[in-house]
Structure 1
């Protein structure tokens, strides 16, 4: 089964919407399952992981309701304020929903040490207790902190979104490559091969992405690398079909079993998709 391990749905002005802003014209509109179904079906993608896009409980509730009515949404990654006093109780409640498989605190615009504050510890322990994935939306300077969290909570399953957002447009590899390699040595961490095209320069070519994709695969191997589209954010830099073709090129050196892992089997394992 092929799985898109990272895509979004949103409705402008509803469910806690704060982003995308009007200046992002290609994506400043509602995106719902019917907008993705044709492209998903054309590529033989049977299931997706719908990831929260707004730091709001309303977004999580809406995604779970949408997932209950949409068979192609196999799993939902929601949002909880991990510092809230009642975060463990919220997590326990959300975990009762059969499609809630993870949480994403949206760390990319927060200080690197935010996730290490003591106030977040009870929520992280609750995620371990309820077997929820920690989706880490981060930038390269967050990688060491995520490594410390992974070491502190060795049974917390962590997935780094978008390869940790390397600075592809600047053709920068360090310290991203070094810190991602260190993180990859921790067995409870996986990484998404997604979101690369929006980190590249406009008019990107596959070879611009190749060093970064190859490093992700070298560090995590096929059993801990998950393919995702980051649709519709992807539309800022290309189409769903263009990213799929680029991905085929980037994965062309893998054998059939390893390709199957990256394109679906790893996501099914990480997010418990049957």
Structure 2
């Protein structure tokens, strides 16, 4: 049996004071979420290990996740956060990289006012530090950021980049343009990957696989089975559905796909691609 990795999930502790996520109005997820909360869901869905991704732009959030990774073998890697604009960002990255489970950092472009922030020359020392330490960059973006992300990724082809949640297409309103074309353009860069994650929360209430399928098709058409990485986006997925439902939709989509290459690529998408992208050497046991 192939090793299955959930390459995008979160843990948080409301009282840590590391940021304002989640906001209190999101009552479904406004509580602590820990590895113990995920353990049974993960086992029931035959997910062997996870990559824990930061949820607040604060170094304390990264430290919290790395502490959890020290305690839980199921956390195979951590994607943290650093202020890429900081004058000492490169040294911060060097210090963080000493932790064996720190696999990359995430930039939260969706929360930044300038669509072209990622193109700033000021972040280049930090980007060069990521490359030097063989770390990756998760990009939390909206469709309007994809053009700038392309220019950034083209400029930094030595950096592994993954688009979180496929750039959050407007599934609820059935809008695919220009998201689809911009995604295909990004896919022409071999250093760019894409996460099959977060789609349920971009859909309308009660949307299922039928509504998601054109967007899932676009992701696979653009990136192929070698550069698509599955993630749950738990516990955020609880806002729209459940962990088990997203696993079911994803696996049924892959196993029933008309293209044999996609059907045969399930093991890659559901684990092996994440292992390669995040440089995961040690695998946990359920």
TM-score range, shorter chain: over 0.9
The structure 1 residue matched to 2:244, chosen from 241, 244, 247, is 241
- 227, 231, 234: which one aligns with 1:231: 234
Q: So what's the TM-score if we normalise by structure 2?
A: 0.94
1:96 maps to 98
Among 173, 176, 181, the alignment partner of 2:176 is 173
Specify the SS of the correspondent of 1:25.
Answer: coil
Confirm or deny: 8 A CA contact 1:15 1:59 kept in the other structure: no
Q: Quote how far apart the aligned CAs of 1:249 are.
A: 2.2
**Residue matched to 2:126:** 123
Aligned to 2:194: 191
Mapping 1:1-274, distance limit 5 Å: 1-110=3-112, 111-252=114-255, 253=257, 254=260, 257-274=264-281
**Partners of 1:6 and 1:257 in 2: CA distance:** 22
Residues 57-79 of structure 1 deviation map (CA, whole Å, 9 limit, x = unaligned): 00001100110101000000000
Q: What displacement does 1:15 show?
A: 4.7
Unaligned runs of 5+ in 2: 282-286
SS in 2 for 1:90: helix
1:215 positional shift = 0.6
Deviant stretches of 4+, over 3 Å: 254-257
Query: Number of paired residues?
Result: 274
SS in 1 for 2:173: coil
Q: Are the equivalent residues in 1 in contact too, given 2:251–2:266 (CA < 8 A)?
A: no
1:81 counterpart SS class = coil
CA contact (8 A) 1:136 1:161 kept: yes
Partner Cα distance (2:83, 2:253) in 1: 36
Matched-pair contact (CA < 8 Å) for 1:140–1:166: yes
Give the deviation of 1:251 after TM superposition: 1.1
* Cα offset, 1:160, TM superposition: 0.3
On the 8 A contact 2:165/2:198 being kept in 1, the answer is: yes
Q: Tell me, yes or no, if the aligned pair for 1:15 and 1:56 is still in contact at 8 Å.
A: no
Distance in 1 of aligned mates of 2:119 and 2:94: 21
SS across alignment from 1:61: helix
Q: Secondary structure at the match of 1:108?
A: helix
Per-residue Cα deviation, 1:104-129 (whole angstroms, up to 9, x for no partner): 02111212111111211111111111
Q: Deviations over 1:177-210 (max 9, x none)?
A: 0000000000000000000000000111111000
Cα distance in structure 1, aligned partners of 2:232 and 2:34 = 15
Structure 2 contact 62–81 (Cα < 8 Å) conserved: yes
Q: Distance in 1 between matches of 2:52 and 2:17?
A: 15
